[in-house]
């Protein structure tokens, strides 16, 4: 059997020429920082999310941290975060000077469990970060109700979910701010790091613009403690080209998720939990994650047959060495802990063939 890679990040030959032309345009123009391409991309991204403003930054992690700071979250504050997510979600809270409070997840969506989150709200809690993990929106209605009841700021982590939708609306525009990553493995990937924040609040957008540029508008007066965190023109030019194809790529991912489901059914594979398509949520499958006991053994056997897989994520945050010993102990967040033991991401990318998917499923069986 031919090897099946986990993903493909190199552009197709058809796209290569368009990307090279965009890069040559930046180089010829000599404007490399906060130029017209960054502005155009910010506007296009904001419009896709139903928001008034977009602010490009240098990574998804910075997008989260600067969004927290722009919303006034800092030392002495607590932020509710799901325990089963990429470390950057919690690290952004820590870097903003606040304390992440870890909550369990909803097994169906891998998003934050709203009831468990509600139990962890205290007088110090100022915000909640719902994560649309793997490309599926979490329970935004529940999050927004909790936020309204307890007066919490909502900052969406959309790093894996650009193009996903909840009740017909694109994720990113439901809370005070929505944060995106353009790491090369994302559905919309740059040729390096990149990130952005969208918002409908002009004051938040203004503070974000200051924070990403060392706290200054003119390099003469410095109004706050910011940093150098700008999306550059080269990455913006690349992202503008790719943005035109995002919807088609997402549909291709959704089609391949359907092929996986059909193949698992045809092969009558037992003992595997497939990702769910929840009602009124549009999943965009940044990864196609299944659940299986003895995950590590299964993964090793697939690798021996040339099938590359990934584990997102091997440890829930409350059991990671950085946050271990906090308020949540082993056994306190059982669904997050079980997901960390069982979740296995299979190959997924727009160009993945039906034959390769069939081979993966046969090997899995």
Contacts of residue 178, defined as CB under 8 A and 6 or more positions apart, other chains included, come to: 49, 51, 155, 156, 158, 171, 172, 197, 198, 199
The pLDDT of residue 258 is above 80: yes
Tell me how far apart the alpha carbons of residues 299 and 321 are, in angstroms, rounded to a whole number.
24
Task: Calculate mean pLDDT across residues 283-305.
Answer: 97
DSSP state of 135: G
Task: Please give the pLDDT value at position 1.
Answer: 63
CATH 3.90.1150.10 in the chain is located at: 246-364
Reported as a single tens digit per residue, the pLDDT across 93-131 is 999 999 999 999 999 999 999 999 999 999 999 999 999
Q: CB neighbours of 182 closer than 8 A, spacing ≥ 6?
A: 60, 188, 189, 190, 193, 194, 195, 196, 235, 239
CATH 3.90.1150.10 fits 246-364, yes or no: yes
Find the largest Cα–Cα distance for the chain. Answer: 67
Using an 8 Å Cβ cutoff, are 269 and 361 in contact?
Answer: yes
pTM listed for this prediction: 0.96
Bridge-based pairing state of the strands 78-82 and 125-128: parallel
- CATH top-level class of 13-103+110-243: alpha beta
Q: What is the pLDDT of residues 327-345, one digit of tens each?
A: 888 999 999 999 999 999 9
Q: How far apart are CA 231 and CA 233, in angstroms?
A: 7
User: In this model, does residue 83 exceed pLDDT 70?
Assistant: yes
Give residue-wise pLDDT tens across range 210-255.
Answer: 999 999 988 888 999 999 999 999 999 999 999 999 999 999 999 9
Mean pLDDT within 262-286: 96
DSSP symbol at 6: S
Query: What percent of the chain shows pLDDT beyond 90?
Result: 93
Residue ranges matching CATH 3.40.640.10 in the chain: 13-103+110-243
pLDDT at residue 27 tops 80: yes
Closest by CA position to 187, among listed 250, 265, 144, 257: 250
Local structure of 297: helix, strand or coil: helix
Measured over the CA atoms of residue 63, residue 59, residue 141 and residue 282, the dihedral's sign is positive
């Amino acid at each position: 059997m031919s090897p099946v890679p986990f993903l493909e990040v190199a552009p197709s030959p058809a796209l290569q020429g368009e990307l090279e032309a965009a890069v040559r345009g930046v180089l010829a123009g000599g404007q490399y920082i906060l130029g017209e391409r960054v502005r155009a991309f910010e506007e296009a991204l904001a419009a896709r999310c139903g928001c008034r403003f977009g602010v490009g930054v240098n990574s998804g992690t910075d997008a989260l941290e600067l969004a927290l700071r722009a919303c006034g979250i800092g030392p002495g504050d607590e932020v509710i975060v799901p325990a089963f997510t990429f470390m950057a979600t919690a690290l952004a809270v820590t870097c903003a000077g606040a304390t992440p409070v870890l909550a369990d997840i909803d097994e169906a969506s891998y998003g934050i469990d709203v009831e468990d989150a509600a139990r962890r709200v205290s007088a110090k809690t100022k915000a909640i970060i719902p994560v649309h993990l793997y490309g599926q929106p979490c329970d935004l209605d529940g999050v927004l109700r909790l936020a309204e009841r307890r007066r919490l700021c909502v900052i969406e982590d959309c790093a894996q979910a650009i193009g996903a939708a909840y009740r017909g609306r694109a994720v990113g525009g439901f809370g005070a701010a929505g944060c995106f990553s353009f790491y090369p493995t994302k559905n919309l990937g740059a040729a390096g790091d990149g990130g952005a924040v969208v918002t409908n609040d002009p004051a938040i957008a203004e503070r974000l613009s200051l924070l990403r540029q060392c706290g200054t508008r003119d390099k003469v007066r410095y109004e706050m403690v910011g940093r150098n965190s700008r999306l550059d023109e080269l990455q913006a030019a690349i992202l503008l080209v790719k943005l035109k194809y995002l919807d088609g790529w997402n549909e291709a991912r959704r089609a391949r998720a359907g092929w996986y489901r059909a193949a698992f059914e045809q092969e009558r594979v037992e003992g595997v939990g497939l990702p769910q398509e929840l009602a009124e949520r549009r999943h965009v499958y940044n990864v196609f994650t299944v659940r299986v006991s003895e995950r590590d053994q299964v993964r090793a056997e697939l690798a021996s047959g040339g099938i590359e897989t990934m584990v997102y994520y091997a440890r829930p945050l409350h059991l990671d060495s950085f946050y271990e010993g906090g308020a949540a102990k082993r056994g306190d967040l059982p669904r997050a802990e079980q997901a960390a033991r069982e979740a296995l991401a299979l190959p997924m990318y727009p160009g993945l063939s039906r034959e390769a998917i069939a081979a993966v499923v046969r090997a899995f069986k």
